[in-house]
Structure formats: C-alpha cells, structure tokens
C-alpha cells in the first residue's frame, strides 16, 4: 500500500495521469479462485502500466536535457555573426498546389485549418486555433504562391517572410514542434527559386541567414525529438537542407547516417510504420522522393535505406486504400489528402495489387468484387511509438465501389484538443466495447498508449478471417474474438463476435459515413442502409439493432455529425455469440419529389 501511495504521489507531482475506468463488469464480480486469479492479473497490469509511464516520463526528461546543447553555431547566432550560405539546389515539392489559394493569400485572406483570418500580415494577427497557427508557421502555403508563379505571388511571399523574420526568427517559442520547423525549412527551400528570382541582395542575405539559423536550431533540438514519425520528418529536412546549402558536408554525413538508422528502425518489413499509423506513409514518401533527386544532383550516394524504404512504402499505401481512395482510419490516421495519395502512387514502379495481409504491421484486408474490408488485427505499438495509437483492436472499415460505408471516427485534424481523447477510445471504433471501457490504457499527459492487447491472433483462409485479442483479459478476464467471411462476389460480409469470459455487457458498434442514410425496417434486427449512388445494403444481427448518434472526426472540413449501428448485449453469459451481416441489395430508385441527400454541415 505504501508503494502504491508513493507511486501515485510521484505521478501527481510529475503531471502523469491515466485514464481511469471501472474495474469490474456491471453484471457482477467473480468469486473464489477466479477472483484471485483476476486480482493477481489486474495487479500485474497495474504495475506494468505505471512502470511504462515512468519510463516514458524519464525518457522525455532525458531528451529535454539534451535538446539544446551549447555549440559554436549557437554562440554565433546569439552574437549575430551568422553566415549567409549559397543556395545550390531547389528541391522539388511533390505536394499539389492551387493557384486559387495564391489569389486568396495575396488578397490577405488566410484560410488554414478550417479558419479564416483576413489580415495583410497574418503573423501580427491573433491565431484563432493552435492548428491555424501551426499551418501558418509551417509555410506550407508557399507552394500555392509558387504554383501561381507571378511576380505578385513572389512579392507576397517575400513580404510575408520578412514579416516573419521581423518578429524574431532566432527566439522562436520553445514549445514549437520540431516538425513545424522542419516543414518550414522544406517549404522555404522549395520556394527559393520563386522568392530569390526577383529579390535584391539584401533579401537574399536575410533569407539565407534565416535558413542557416533554423537549420542549426533544428539540428540542436534533434536529441529532444521523440521517437517516431516526427524524428523522420526532422531528419529528412536536415538532409535536404545539407544538400541544398553550400558548406554543409558535415551536416550531410551526420543527418544521412541517422536517417538511414531511423528508416531501418521504423519501417517494417511489409512497409508499414512501427507506430501502425497509416497517415505516416504518404508524407514520408513525398519527403523521401525529392531527397533521391538531390543526392543524384549533388553526385552523392544516398543511404540504402532511402531507396528500399520507398519501395516498401508504396505497396502499403495501396493496402490501406479503400474504394473512395482514402486510407483506413486506424491508430492516429486523420483526413486523407487524396491528391497527395495519388501523387505518391504515380511514383510506384511496381504498380502492384495490394497484399491481402500485412502481418508485421498487424492488418488484414479482404477484397472481392467492388467490396473492400480492412481490419486492425495487431497488438499496439511499443509505448515509445504509441503517442497517437488508438484502442481499436479488431475494428474494421468497409467500402463498396467508391463509397465508404463503415468507418472509424478517426483522428481529428481540427479541434484536436477537444476530441483527441475521445477519438482514441474503443467506442470510437467499429468493434466491440466490453463493459463500457477501452481495450487499452492511454497515458494522458504524454499521449502514449501504454497497455493493451498483447495476445492478438489472426488466421485467414481465402476470404475468411478469424481474429481474437486479450485486451480485456487482465482486469475483466475477457477474450474478444471476431470472425469475418466475405462472399466471392463481395455482396455479403458475414461477421461473428464472441465474448468469452465472466458475465459482462458488451456493444458492437459500426460507425457509418456521414452520407449513409439508415432506414428502419419491419424487423428490429435489421436496418437498411442507403448510399448516395442509390445502392442499398442491409445490416442484420441476431439481436435488436439501434441507430445512435456518432461523429466523423477524420473529415477534411472538420468533425461532422454521423450515425452508428449499435448492437447491445446485456449479458455475455446469456449471449456470448453475436452474429451480424452486411448484404448488398439492388439500387434504390429515388422518387421525383424526394429531395436529394445532402451531407450534414460540419460541427
């Protein structure tokens, strides 16, 4: 007891909080040997979670101590003696741009992260949301000015960069994410051709000096970057800068070596990322492809991992694609930028069909006809890489032709602070929730998922898949199994959820895309689903089905209202097996006087 109290006090003093959830099912507690066995298991899980949290806190403090080492470059920056290096190369920016957005920026209309701020100098305006401020500071919008390519666009870019520099580019806030600084360096280098073509010598010197300073600051902060995709983003920016600026041979050797190591550590054998987040893949490919061109232009040999990583990432992007072109919303995946996915796949030399299994990443894919089903059938990533991981084991997403039917709520790109914790819970995924709790434990202060399913099995035979996980085992003694079978024509998806263990209530949820319209039928156990293209699917289950409110968080325009199919079972002892099915029907003809379906406005 004293040890527990000490740990709890240490936790509070260091700002560590865990998601607290009920320990027992509402249906009652087990007794005798079963209670003793579960008590020992729960105690072990409790200490394991606390130990993982302490390790993450210690690692974060260690990184913070070494994130800003004193160096000659730092001293030069403080005394104002910074060089003005020449810009040798202009890297290619593969992300698509829109000249119309350039007209808005030139007119002082700054539209970022779903918010509009009208100001000639947006850096002097008050940011409406943190996401808006991040989008502005990353300078990713420079690509729109570059796409316009007019003298007016170039002048606007120079004016806004000078406004940014006048506010002090050395003493940027310490809490600015290194990934934002990395994106800014990439954006400045990619737009340097446009910006410098009509600029004078004074602007060139200020611009190149500011680039040098930010590269030095990012290099100094690298040790404080947590493991994961952010570290890859920082390293790709440093390697690109060292290839584009003169006199950076030392930085090139240092950053290229570490990028090679991180790619080997973070990219799995099947092409997935160690965090299990599909959203990492496309931006990483779009950052690595220009590096290969820069190495060739400088007559330098790129690290082998850069070449092999791109070849492994491409098939995995195809694996996660659903019928509408979006990537499945698992483990931190937010809105899909469809044009970026299409751009990345243009460079796929193999142009192969997606593999049905990604065993290293822990995902399975069923596809027949125009139907695609993607299932999360893997254990959570290691806590160091689980800052965005979700408690969505055995969740699925379903699409028919170009229409997404069943989805997970996904990770929000806008209003993250308000929705992030809710989005990571099991209830936000199309899977089974037992006793109204999540199958994994999230460390709120650091955002890491520190405990969850460890015994996850997946066995497939053609279009049949049998999966199970023990995420509810340590505290509830529950094992959840989900069996799926897709017909050869893709017209029917048969599912079966089994909750094995002590008596507990559970709910199987299927979150619908906002444009899907559920229509009640004569039977309480079936719901008709109407798609915008007139196609109809029927969902039926062995117990009554309810239509409840939900929310689609991973939408480009922001969170949108949606609905979900909820199949609730009050007692797993009485109903341990839940059978359900999605079946395609013929198209529904719409009457002439019926108004067309319109999507809900964003929240």
Closest CA to 114 of 572, 556, 530, 503: 556
pLDDT value for 89: 95
Total Cβ atoms within 10 A of residue 389: 25
Q: What does the DSSP assignment read for 548-582?
A: EEEEE-S-TTS-EEEEEEEEEES-TTT--EEEEEE
**What does the alpha-carbon distance between residue 217 and residue 211 come to, in Å, rounded to a whole number?**
10
- On whether both 316 and 445 belong to a single domain, the answer is no
Per-residue pLDDT of 159-168, as tens digits, reads 999 999 988 7
Is residue 3, in this structure, part of any structural domain at all?
no
Give the distance, in angstroms, between the CA of residue 474 and the centroid of all CA atoms in the same chain.
28
Q: Long-range contacts of range 97-104, CB-CB < 8 Å, 24 or more positions apart?
A: 97/143, 97/144, 97/146, 97/147, 98/144, 98/147, 99/144, 99/147, 99/148, 101/141, 101/144, 102/144, 102/145, 102/147, 102/148, 102/150, 102/153, 102/156, 103/148
**What does the alpha-carbon distance between residue 475 and residue 42 come to, in Å, rounded to a whole number?**
5
Is residue 28, in this structure, part of any structural domain at all?
no
Per-residue pLDDT of 68-78, as tens digits, reads 554 545 545 55
**What does the alpha-carbon distance between residue 423 and residue 408 come to, in Å, rounded to a whole number?**
9
Let me know: does 555 contact 335? Beta carbons within 8 Å: yes
- On whether both 266 and 388 belong to a single domain, the answer is no
Task: Please state the domain count of the chain.
Answer: 2
Mean pLDDT of 300-316: 91
- On whether both 281 and 424 belong to a single domain, the answer is no
Closest CA to 240 of 228, 225, 224, 256: 256
Is residue 24, in this structure, part of any structural domain at all?
no
- On whether both 312 and 379 belong to a single domain, the answer is no
Where do the DSSP E strands lie in 229-377?
A: 357-358, 363-368, 371-376
Give the distance, in angstroms, between the CA of residue 524 and the centroid of all CA atoms in the same chain.
36
- On whether both 270 and 401 belong to a single domain, the answer is no
- On whether both 534 and 406 belong to a single domain, the answer is yes
Closest CA to 289 of 141, 89, 146, 93: 93
Total Cβ atoms within 10 A of residue 560: 20
Is residue 94, in this structure, part of any structural domain at all?
no
Indicate left, alpha or beta for 394 from its phi (over 0: left) and psi (-120 to 50: alpha): left
Per-residue pLDDT of 532-571, as tens digits, reads 988 999 999 999 999 999 999 999 888 999 999 999 999 9
pLDDT value for 352: 61
Mean pLDDT of the chain: 85
pLDDT value for 56: 55
Whole-model pTM: value is 0.86
- On whether both 518 and 440 belong to a single domain, the answer is yes
**What does the alpha-carbon distance between residue 573 and residue 6 come to, in Å, rounded to a whole number?**
39
- Backbone phi, then psi, for 39, in 5-degree steps? -65, -45
Per-residue pLDDT of 97-132, as tens digits, reads 999 999 999 999 999 988 999 999 999 999 999 999
Which residues lie below 8 Å from residue 20, measured CB to CB, with a gap of 6+? none
Is residue 597, in this structure, part of any structural domain at all?
no
Per-residue pLDDT of 447-475, as tens digits, reads 778 788 989 999 999 999 999 999 999 88
Instruction: Identify the three-state secondary structure at position 441.
Output: strand
Let me know: does 510 contact 430? Beta carbons within 8 Å: yes
Provide the domain limits for residue 379. Answer: 36-58+364-585
**What does the alpha-carbon distance between residue 25 and residue 420 come to, in Å, rounded to a whole number?**
26
CATH code of residue 42: 2.70.98.70
Give me the percent of the chain exceeding a pLDDT of 70. 81
Instruction: Identify the three-state secondary structure at position 395.
Output: coil
Closest CA to 427 of 576, 570, 569, 564: 564
- Backbone phi, then psi, for 406, in 5-degree steps? -110, 135
- Per-residue confidence band for 60, with pLDDT thresholds at 50, 70 and 90: low
- On whether both 237 and 292 belong to a single domain, the answer is yes
Q: Long-range contacts of range 57-64, CB-CB < 8 Å, 24 or more positions apart?
A: 57/14, 57/16, 57/445, 57/446, 59/226, 59/384, 60/226, 60/446, 63/223, 63/224, 63/225, 63/226, 64/224
pLDDT value for 287: 96
Is residue 495, in this structure, part of any structural domain at all?
yes
- Backbone phi, then psi, for 115, in 5-degree steps? -125, 150
pLDDT value for 21: 42
- On whether both 296 and 373 belong to a single domain, the answer is no
Last residue in a domain, options 302, 320, 338: 320
**What does the alpha-carbon distance between residue 404 and residue 396 come to, in Å, rounded to a whole number?**
12
Is residue 402, in this structure, part of any structural domain at all?
yes
Total Cβ atoms within 10 A of residue 239: 28
**Beta-carbon-side half-sphere exposure of residue 257 (alpha carbons within 13 Å):** 6
- Backbone phi, then psi, for 557, in 5-degree steps? -90, 0
- On whether both 271 and 375 belong to a single domain, the answer is no
Is residue 385, in this structure, part of any structural domain at all?
yes
DSSP annotation of 289? H
Q: Does position 38 have pLDDT exceeding 90, yes or no?
A: no
Range scoring the smallest mean pLDDT among 29-43, 59-73, 400-414 = 29-43
- On whether both 402 and 488 belong to a single domain, the answer is yes
> What is the signed CA dihedral for 99, 102, 106, 110, rounded to 10 degrees?
150
Query: What's the Cα-to-Cα distance from 479 to each of 408, 454, 498, 506, rounded to whole Å?
Result: 21, 11, 8, 12
Q: Does position 32 have pLDDT exceeding 50, yes or no?
A: no
- On whether both 473 and 558 belong to a single domain, the answer is yes
């Amino acid at each position: 007891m004293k040890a527990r109290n000490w740990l709890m006090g240490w936790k509070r003093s260091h700002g560590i909080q865990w998601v607290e959830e009920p320990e027992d099912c509402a249906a009652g507690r087990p007794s005798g040997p079963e209670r003793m066995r579960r008590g020992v298991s729960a105690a072990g899980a409790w200490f394991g979670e606390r130990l993982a949290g302490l390790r993450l806190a210690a690692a974060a403090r260690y990184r913070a101590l070494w994130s800003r080492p004193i160096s000659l470059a730092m001293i030069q920056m403080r005394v104002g003696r910074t060089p003005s290096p020449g810009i040798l190369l202009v890297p290619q920016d593969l992300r698509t741009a829109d000249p119309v957005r350039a007209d808005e920026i030139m007119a002082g209309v700054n539209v970022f992260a779903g918010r509009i701020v009208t100001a000639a100098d947006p850096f002097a305006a008050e940011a409406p949301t943190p996401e808006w401020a991040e989008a502005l500071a990353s300078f990713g919008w420079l690509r729109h000015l570059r796409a316009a390519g007019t003298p007016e666009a170039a002048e606007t870019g120079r004016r806004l960069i000078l406004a940014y520099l006048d506010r002090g580019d050395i003493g940027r806030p310490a809490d600015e994410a290194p990934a934002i600084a990395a994106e800014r360096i990439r954006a400045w280098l990619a737009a340097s051709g446009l910006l410098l073509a009509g600029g004078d010598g004074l602007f060139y010197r200020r611009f190149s000096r500011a680039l040098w300073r930010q590269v030095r600051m990012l290099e100094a902060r690298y040790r404080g970057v947590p493991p994961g995709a952010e570290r890859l983003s920082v390293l790709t920016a440093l390697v690109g800068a060292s290839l584009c600026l003169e006199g950076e041979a030392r930085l090139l050797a240092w950053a290229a070596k570490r990028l090679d190591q991180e790619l080997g550590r973070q990219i799995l054998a099947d092409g997935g990322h160690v965090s299990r987040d599909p959203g990492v893949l496309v931006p990483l490919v779009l950052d690595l492809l220009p590096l290969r061109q820069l190495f060739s232009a400088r007559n330098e040999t790129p690290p082998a991992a850069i070449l092999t990583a791109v070849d492994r990432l491409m098939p995995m992007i195809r694996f996660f694609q659903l019928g509408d072109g979006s990537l499945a919303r698992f483990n931190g995946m937010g809105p899909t930028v469809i044009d970026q996915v299409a751009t990345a796949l243009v460079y796929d030399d193999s142009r192969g069909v997606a593999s049905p299994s990604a065993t290293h990443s822990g995902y399975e894919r069923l596809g027949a006809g125009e139907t695609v089903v993607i299932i999360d059938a893997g254990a959570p990533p290691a806590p160091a890489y689980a800052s965005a991981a979700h408690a969505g084991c055995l969740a699925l997403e379903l699409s028919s032709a170009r229409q997404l039917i069943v989805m997970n709520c996904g990770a929000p790109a806008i209003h993250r602070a308000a929705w992030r914790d809710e989005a990571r819970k099991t209830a936000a995924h199309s899977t089974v929730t037992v006793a109204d709790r999540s199958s994994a434990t999230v460390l709120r202060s650091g955002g890491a998922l520190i405990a969850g399913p460890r015994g996850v099995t997946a066995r497939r035979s053609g279009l049949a898949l049998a999966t199970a996980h023990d995420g509810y085992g340590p505290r509830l003694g529950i094992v959840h199994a989900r069996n799926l079978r897709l017909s050869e024509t893709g017209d029917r998806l048969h599912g079966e959820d089994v909750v094995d263990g002590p008596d507990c209530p559970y709910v199987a949820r299927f979150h619908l895309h906002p444009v899907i319209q559920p229509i009640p039928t004569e039977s309480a156990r079936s719901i008709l689903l109407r798609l915008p293209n007139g196609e109809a699917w029927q969902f039926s289950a062995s117990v009554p089905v309810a239509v409840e409110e939900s929310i689609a968080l991973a939408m480009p325009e922001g969170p949108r209202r949606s609905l979900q199919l909820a199949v609730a079972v009050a007692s797993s002892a009485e109903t341990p097996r839940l059978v359900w099915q999605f079946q395609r029907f013929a198209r529904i003809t719409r009457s002439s006087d019926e108004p067309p379906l319109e999507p809900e406005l964003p929240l």
